[in-house]
Structure 1
Amino acid sequence: MTPVTRDGDGPPRRAVLRGGGAVGLGAVGLGAVGIGGGLVGCGGPESTNETGGGGKSGGTLTAVIGYGNDGSWDPTVTASAFAMAGNEHIYEALLGTDPITREPYPQLALAVPVDLKATTWKFELRAGAKWHDGKPVTADDVVFVFDRILDPGTQTLVKGFFASWLKEVRKVDARNVELVLKFPFPDGAARLTLAKIMPKHVYSRPGAWEEATKGKAIGSGPYRQTAHHPKSNTTFEAFADYNGPRTAAFQKMNWLTIVEASSRVAKISGAGADAEIADNIPYANIGQLKKSGMTVEGGAGMNNLFLMFNTAHKPFDDVRVRQALHYAIDREKMIEVALKGHGKPATSFLNEGNPSYRPAKTVYGYDPKKAKALLEEAGVSGLKVNLMAVNVSWIADCLPTIKASWDAIGVKTTLDPQETTAVFTKLDQKKDFQVVAAASNPNQFGIEADLIMHYNYGPDNIWMGYARWAKNARAKELFRLMDKATRETDASRKKTMVQDYIDLVAEEAVLYPVVHNELMTAWDPKQLTGIRPQPYPGINLLQAKWV
């Protein structure tokens, strides 16, 4: 699977998988690709400061996204915060999910299957559904996408969400398909939102997947993409022929990518603000924005700062060393100083609000004495650590606490923050490292514990490849337990099985969260209504409208 990394100034996220290999962020967003009447790439943006005009009179909605826009837009591989949020408005799946509760609802399909414990799910497609180029949506398009996802020779991110339980997808006729499951898997209904249906006549052409990586997006959703400029903005307009459940409320939208925190806040501040909504609001600016009349609300979820150790680089192959460095961190100080109170120490891999949460048997409370004792027990002294980190703004704020904590137990620490693209390019190229600090949020994909854990752990998982841990005996035991839990159909037993194997994950601490934090969204309540802040990056405007 592809890493959860966020572009630019947001939690990390982004190795892009193409063909059989992993390609880092630096390989995407290059060149120019035609999109309908717009251009992707080199030319300057059509407009990066068009104002809303707003209120009941309509106009263009301008949004500020606090993450880079140079990640892949191919829905089968992307983990880009910007692209995933944009794709929710451009594409549809058989079933969508509510952005907060993750309850499934019909999108291209007419209904959610009545019996989710059945091993065959049948779907009828919405009559009159069209692609943005005017051609009809058919069962062939559905089969085309799932064939790509399930193809053993094609490496995609979403394969890891489907391959374990979905056997095949069959065409019944032009408007009907059936999904054949390997075993009953009720959680799969919500996962269908991750399989965005794409037009076969567009993406089966030679080079089309490369174009999708660079930004080409033609879907059946309420908004069509009109232009894409990876370093500045992406524009949308309402799709006139859309006949689905979430109609467009804004005639045009202009989404700006602004990863620098002060510039992002300035764009939405004051009486002459150029944007109506922005995500990734820095904690230090919440009060200022509220005083100016903005609504600022947060979503708490899986968003986290994690540490990932290179277990092929001694002494990080020793679990005692990994544990020592976790015990040494003063998490409460980090939350107070860096997160301004908008976070909680990680007491499990899952955040406390997750339906499957329970405290892990190993909880890394602040215990420098224990940290020193573990290092001594491991025979490690004079340890020097280079902490390679993404330059996400809130991660950068947390790094000094980690350095001070490790220095205090005699571990000489060098902070090495870099562009997110640079970090994951090095990881993709299998370059040596000691420890990585980055941000992750699997809630982009869902809140189901089985999904979250498989996103980060698994025998063929890219994260495990980065950590060089997949062949470890304890890793193999973990993967066996994970597979067994996936196949469990009783919800209560499955929950317990997941909680039990998370205890192993916590003890090993190969890739493990330090803190879970809250993501803040700000918007103008005099202009917009129906906004719900997400506990993961990006915005969802499918139920929003002008005041």
Structure 2
Amino acid sequence: MSDHDATGRRSFLKYSGALGAAAAVSTSLTACSSGPKSTNDTDDDGGKGGSTSLTAVIGYGNDGSWDPTQTASAFAMAGNNHIYEGLVETDPITRAPYPALATAVPDAAQLRGTSWKFALRPGAKWHDGKPVTADDVVFVFDRILDPKTQTLAKGFFESWLKEVKKVDESSVELVLKFPFPDGVARLTLAKIMPKHVYAKPGAWDEAMKGKAVGSGPYRQTSHQPKTNTTFEAFADYNGPRKPAFTKMNWLTIVDAAPRVAKISGGSADAQIADNIPYANIQQLEKGGLTVDGGAGMNNLFLMFNTAHKPFDDVRVRQALHYAIDKKKMIAVALKGHGKAASSFLNEGNPTHRAARTVYDYDPGKAKKLLKEAGVSGLSISLMAVNVSWIVDCLPTIKASWDAIGVRTTLDPQETTAVFTKMDQKKDYQVVAAASNPNQFGLDADLIMHYNYGPANLWMGYARWADNSTAKQLFKQMDQATREPDADKKKTMIQEYIDIVAEQAVIYPVVHNELMTAWDPKKITGVQAQPYPGINVLKAKPATA
């Protein structure tokens, strides 16, 4: 296994918008091509009036992995959705599947079977002009399913997908281990990549650093890590989501103040920005911008080191959740843009129902649980990622825990520093961080396996996988995955989420809303995503 493959399991966490990685990673990445003379230069009129250029500001780093089989970087995933295509893509908001490189989505009868056949879109070309073939499709899925290659995408496919076979030059067959209709929406997570580009020695490392050659509506024209990535419309694109902008310049601005400044005021250079701080919403709206939010799985969670006493005791974990004044956190830190978690899933998820254990604010119950556990005089160092909205929430946690006699020290750090310590298996007590599995979809089975499972990285961090309750949970999760009846499957997932809620090993405190701002005089058709990044495949320039 190459060094890149060996580190792939954790790179998606370090580079992840799913963790809200607001800080630049320390890894030195080289640019894959020279950038424009100015990061604001789109060789157009700056996006004014009915311009066909777009400047966007992304509140996450562009220097994470760009390899579509590996990345969970908010910037890279958003960019890749414009550069690459899967056989099937999903709408960024509804997540309804639609044919992309394939000519059709399998019908209901096919989805109930174990063989899905796809014809490729006639005339589809790579950005270097060569034709897309069945060999390219097989190439990507072979990488994802290769037992010797550890990729993030493997976790989304290996449980249900047996193999992908070439039928002829322009069609493929997916062979499933068992019927799994939910898998069709996951095909968006298998971006098809040109074999003639990425089969070359060292090419996967280049993909990680930012090299991107796809078949989508936009082709990458330059990539400057920590600064910007540029795109232009691909003239030979013949797919369903036509490019509306001739050029795009996506700036990475992690710090909130300069990001807001870039889209506001008379000298605004950008027309759209994500990750808008709640405190700036009114200011931007008064300036004529539209600011809208997407409520989804984005959450602040607590993760306990169950190998560090007394956090091996479920009563202690529960007590610390009951102690948190979530209403205060939502009012003060989130300015009303959040909801207390009533399940691992957010309330808008189709599989959501309130768990049997809901951690309503109850300091009396928290004290009682600590007493029952024989715990007194507890001191906690709460290690946390330094994402701005997480940091805003930390004082409420400290005040809540201090109030029940748990002396609390806050220890916010760079996201990469936190998870490097996790990778190195260093001791810790409790971690507070952000997560958003909605980047990958709404599928509850996918979301739960992202966090829980015997070989899951998160379970390794929490040191819980060998627990007898955990082993029973994993069995129930596997049974739910294989259940063909949708209603039964939903019930089975809800039942095992009850166990996840009761155990509170990795569990959300609040789900919050993510805000996007744009200038409606310059861009229309924008929809705010409930996960980091932007998608402008349905947007277009406003008329002058």
Matched, 1:12 2:11: no
Greater Cα shift, 420-429 or 227-236: 420-429
Contact persistence 1:4–1:13 (CA under 8 A): no
2:80 to 82, 87, 91: 87
The one-letter amino acid paired with 1:30 is L
The one-letter amino acid paired with 1:263 is P
1:49 to 40, 49, 57: 40
Contact persistence 2:49–2:521 (CA under 8 A): no
The one-letter amino acid paired with 1:123 is F
Contact persistence 1:94–1:107 (CA under 8 A): yes
Contact persistence 2:30–2:225 (CA under 8 A): no
CA deviation string 1:200-256 (max 9, x = no partner):
111111111111111111111111111111111111111111111111111111111
What SS is found at the alignment partner of 2:365? helix
- In structure 2, distance between residues paired with 1:541 and 1:168: 33
Cα pair distance change 1:27/1:140, threshold 3 Å: farther
- In structure 1, distance between residues paired with 2:169 and 2:111: 24
Cα pair distance change 1:383/1:368, threshold 3 Å: same
Cα pair distance change 1:486/1:29, threshold 3 Å: farther
Matched, 1:302 2:297: yes
1:466 to 461, 469, 490: 461
Partner of 1:102: 95
**Deviation, structure 1 residue 429:** 2.0
The one-letter amino acid paired with 2:352 is Y
What SS is found at the alignment partner of 2:380? strand
Partner of 2:142: 147
2:335 to 336, 340, 352: 340
| Residues 129-528 of structure 1 mapped to structure 2, 5 A cutoff | 129-528=124-523
- In structure 1, distance between residues paired with 2:511 and 2:247: 35
Cα pair distance change 1:390/1:469, threshold 3 Å: same
What SS is found at the alignment partner of 1:78? coil
Partner of 1:71: 64
- In structure 1, distance between residues paired with 2:341 and 2:53: 41
Cα pair distance change 1:452/1:4, threshold 3 Å: farther
The one-letter amino acid paired with 1:349 is F
Contact persistence 2:229–2:250 (CA under 8 A): yes
Contact persistence 2:276–2:515 (CA under 8 A): yes
**Deviation, structure 1 residue 5:** 4.8
Partner of 1:533: 528
Contact persistence 1:50–1:62 (CA under 8 A): no
- In structure 2, distance between residues paired with 1:57 and 1:496: 50
CA-based RMSD of the aligned residues comes to 1.7
- In structure 2, distance between residues paired with 1:310 and 1:25: 26
- In structure 1, distance between residues paired with 2:71 and 2:36: 23
TM-score after normalising by structure 1: 0.94
Cα pair distance change 1:222/1:88, threshold 3 Å: same
- In structure 2, distance between residues paired with 1:162 and 1:513: 25
Contact persistence 1:55–1:528 (CA under 8 A): no
What SS is found at the alignment partner of 2:317? helix
**Deviation, structure 1 residue 46:** 3.7
- In structure 1, distance between residues paired with 2:497 and 2:116: 31
| Aligned sequence identity (%) | 77
**Deviation, structure 1 residue 57:** 4.0
CA deviation string 1:46-93 (max 9, x = no partner):
422347633554242100001112210011111101100000000000
Contact persistence 1:96–1:190 (CA under 8 A): yes
Moved over 4 A (4+): 1-8, 24-29
Contact persistence 2:31–2:224 (CA under 8 A): no
- In structure 1, distance between residues paired with 2:11 and 2:507: 14
The one-letter amino acid paired with 1:31 is T
- In structure 2, distance between residues paired with 1:288 and 1:13: 24
- In structure 2, distance between residues paired with 1:244 and 1:317: 53
CA deviation string 1:334-387 (max 9, x = no partner):
000000000000000000011111000000011111111111111212111111
The one-letter amino acid paired with 1:362 is T
Partner of 2:4: none
**Deviation, structure 1 residue 26:** 4.2
The one-letter amino acid paired with 1:135 is K
- In structure 2, distance between residues paired with 1:212 and 1:7: 14
CA deviation string 1:126-154 (max 9, x = no partner):
11111111111111110010011111111
CA deviation string 1:93-114 (max 9, x = no partner):
0000000111100000000012
Matched, 1:31 2:30: yes
What SS is found at the alignment partner of 1:137? coil
Partner of 1:18: none
- In structure 2, distance between residues paired with 1:53 and 1:32: 24
**Deviation, structure 1 residue 11:** 5.5
CA deviation string 1:267-294 (max 9, x = no partner):
1111221100000101111001000000
**Deviation, structure 1 residue 420:** 1.3
| Residues 108-123 of structure 1 mapped to structure 2, 5 A cutoff | 108-114=101-107, 115-123=110-118
Contact persistence 1:384–1:412 (CA under 8 A): yes
- In structure 2, distance between residues paired with 1:383 and 1:399: 18
What SS is found at the alignment partner of 2:535? coil
- Unaligned 5+ segments in structure 2 are 1-8
- Unaligned 5+ segments in structure 1 are 15-23
What SS is found at the alignment partner of 1:234? strand
- In structure 2, distance between residues paired with 1:347 and 1:6: 28
Cα pair distance change 1:101/1:499, threshold 3 Å: same
**Deviation, structure 1 residue 431:** 1.8
What SS is found at the alignment partner of 2:196? helix
What SS is found at the alignment partner of 1:141? helix
CA deviation string 1:401-452 (max 9, x = no partner):
0111111111111111111121122212222211111111110000011111
- In structure 1, distance between residues paired with 2:448 and 2:95: 17
- In structure 2, distance between residues paired with 1:258 and 1:175: 41
Q: How many residue pairs get matched?
A: 529
What SS is found at the alignment partner of 2:208? helix
Cα pair distance change 1:503/1:25, threshold 3 Å: farther
Contact persistence 1:64–1:277 (CA under 8 A): yes
The one-letter amino acid paired with 1:492 is D
Partner of 2:539: 544
